[in-house]
Amino acid sequence: MKVAVFRKEHFNAAHRLHNPDWSEEKNELVFGKCNNKYFHGHNYELIVKVIGEPHPETGYVYDMKLLSDIIKEHITDKFDHKNLNLDVEEFKNLNPTAENIAVVIYNILREKIESELELKVTLYETERNYVEYPA
């Protein structure tokens, strides 16, 4: 029997969607307001889903306090109140779209959570726009 457990967190961060290989005009056309050279921010909502068999002794799929601590140490402390383009190493050469942010978060967490457990990241950039990885 598999069970899914979820942890919801949030962080606030700024970013600019921009492809340095393109002209300013093409960046403006493709990314619009999100290409503002002075950046813009979002109040991101992050949902981390872990799926597995409950442990026979604890009944836990995953210790939620441990999951909370891992997310805080490796995601929220790293991303919260940061400029993703300038302050977060993973985005130095990667456009910080919601899609790419979700993949980066997944990859960071995947290294910290046992491989026999399934992992999914859902990232809300706005109340109506969100991404999931893996899809």
List the catalytic residues: 34, 81, 125
Torsion angle of the four alpha carbons 42, 69, 114, 44, in this order, in degrees rounded to the nearest 10: -10
- Cα separation, 16 vs 120, in Å, equals 25
Closest to 13 in 3D by CA, of 108, 73, 77: 77
Residues 6+ apart with CB under 8 A from 56: none
Closest to 54 in 3D by CA, of 7, 105, 3: 3
